[in-house]
Structure 1
Amino acid sequence: MKFRDWYLKIGVVSALVGASMEFFMIKTGFYDKVTVLESEKRAWENSPEAQAVREALNPWRRIDAEGTEKS
């Protein structure tokens, strides 16, 4: 392969960049913050308020209701 050393250099640099990004996210507490935000989001999505908003914003709710009544 003609450009094997070039591909190897790109691979090593890419691995180093990825590892440094992961290290930065771990040191800054990124994953902890994302875990909290995701749990809050899931809790809200399962709440009655979120269900009411989904139903109110669904433009097909009448058509869906008619389809279930006929079958």
Structure 2
Amino acid sequence: MKFVDWYVKIGVVSALIGASMELFMIKTGFYDQVTVLEAEKRTWENSPEAQAIKEALNPWRNHDAQPRKNS
């Protein structure tokens, strides 16, 4: 292959960029913040208020319960 060294260089540079991004996210506490936000989001989604809003905004909630008139 003619361009093997080019592909190797691109692979090495890409791996270094990815590793530096991961290191930056670890050092700045990004993953800790995201974990807290996801936990709060899941808590809210499972709350009775969120369930009530979800059901109120769903226009198809009674669609399956109604009998079909064409049959």
Query: TM-score if structure 2 supplies the norm length?
Result: 0.90
Whole-angstrom distance in 2 between the partners of 1:54 and 1:12: 47
Q: Percent identity of the aligned residues?
A: 81
Alignment-derived partner of residue 42 in structure 2: 42
- Confirm or deny that 1:9 pairs with 2:16: no
Flag structure 2 segments of 5+ consecutive residues without an equivalent.
none
CA deviations on 1:2-47 (whole Å, 9 max, x unpaired) are 1000000000000000000000000000000000000000000000
Following TM superposition, the consecutive aligned residue runs of length 4 or more in structure 1 with deviations greater than 6 angstroms are none
Rounded Cα–Cα distance in structure 2 between residues aligned with 1:36 and 1:16: 28
CA RMSD in angstroms comes to: 1.0
- Which structure carries more helix by proportion? 1
Structure 1: unaligned runs, 5 residues or longer: none
How many residues were matched structurally?
67
